[in-house]
Amino acid sequence: MRIPEDRLRRLELRVTGRLDGMLGGEHLGLLPGPGSELAEARAYQPGEDDVRHMDWSVTARTAVPHVRDVIADHELEAWALVDLTPSMDYGTTDLLKRDLAVAALAAVGFTATRLGDRVGAYLMTGPTLRRRPARTGRSRLYALLREVEEAPSEPGPLTLADAITALDRGQRRRGLRVVISDFLDPPDWERPLRRMAARHQVLAVEIIDPRELELPATGMIEFADPETGAVQEFLLNARVADDYRRAAAAQRAATAAALRRAGASHLVLRTDRDWVTDIARFALRRRRLGGRA
């Protein structure tokens, strides 16, 4: 079933209306200095050129000092990796985690397209990884958002680490990389994420449902693993509920620590909170930190 057009329009209004002026603005270079795209080499001008831009390979070949000009970033590519495995189809509020994945992608996409940048995506559905080329324009973004909401999910061998590695190897041009997931996979994704963050700006959007953090002591209950379909019965008493809460808190803390070590910015969205407010606060906090830097 297709997403109603008015729903996409409301989503765009919430993103551009609430976030405009926080996520948008002039591009800054991805590396320190006037830009990050390499241009032509030319002879070094003493007193005018920065010695940090010396092109040593050309200098060695010609025996004449040369510098390599850099140009500013004007058109960037934003690539998102969206986790659409079965655990993302879970939710105990009015929203599923997949709904927040659509919202996070919309926040990045609408902001990027307003600046004329291109947005592409890798969709991780379990068995396969679908690549959608980077395009500009709202109609292209609408189509991508529809596909994210409607794409089937099923258990499969593909891991988050595999998907991050594929994104990093497949897209080499510097830009923004957004990983949208619940990060419930084993933390073997930290190393490929660190490699990607060494070259790109990386934003990790962690999506959480409150029932993944704590459970009420309700007695005997059946749990089904959405990834494997396995069903197991537990006596959910106060002690088990407390152990679960502690284990969930430890898992989330480990995820935050791994993202921090990898050098990725970390945004948490919850199905029981206003995602627009959370993204706006995150963007404003990042802007203030950037201003102090």
Please state, in angstroms and rounded to a whole number, the distance separating the CA atoms of residues 159 and 157: 6
Supply the DSSP symbol for 32. S
Percentage of the chain modeled with pLDDT above 70:
81
Q: What is the pLDDT of residues 56-115, one digit of tens each?
A: 988 998 999 988 766 445 557 899 999 999 999 999 998 999 999 999 999 888 888 877
What is the average pLDDT score of the chain?
84
Identify the residue with better confidence: 105 or 42.
105
Supply the DSSP symbol for 28. P
CATH of domain 5-23+77-208+265-292: 3.40.50.410
pLDDT of residue 162 exceeding 70, the answer is yes
pTM over 0.85: no
Please state, in angstroms and rounded to a whole number, the distance separating the CA atoms of residues 209 and 252: 12
What's the whole-number mean pLDDT along residues 229-244? 89
Identify the residue with better confidence: 151 or 22.
151
Percentage of the chain modeled with pLDDT above 90:
46
Domain parsing of the chain, residue ranges: 5-23+77-208+265-292, 37-71
pLDDT number for residue 33: 43
How far, in Å, are 32, 62, 155 from residue 41 at the CA level? Answer: 19, 12, 51
264 residue type, one letter:
A
Supply the DSSP symbol for 154. -
Residues whose CB is less than 8 angstroms from the CB of residue 4 and which lie 6 or more positions away in sequence, other chains included: none
Backbone φ and ψ for 80, nearest 5 degrees, come out as -115, 140
Say if residues 147 and 132 touch (Cβ distance below 8 Å): yes
pLDDT number for residue 105: 94
pLDDT number for residue 14: 66
Choose among 153, 140, 129: nearest CA to 105: 140
23 HSE (CA, 13 A, CB side): 27
Say if residues 77 and 172 touch (Cβ distance below 8 Å): no
What's the whole-number mean pLDDT along residues 3-32? 55
pLDDT number for residue 19: 60
Q: Using the Cα atoms of residue 283, residue 25, residue 137 and residue 202 in order, give the sign of their dihedral.
A: negative
Strand pairing class (201-208; 265-270): parallel
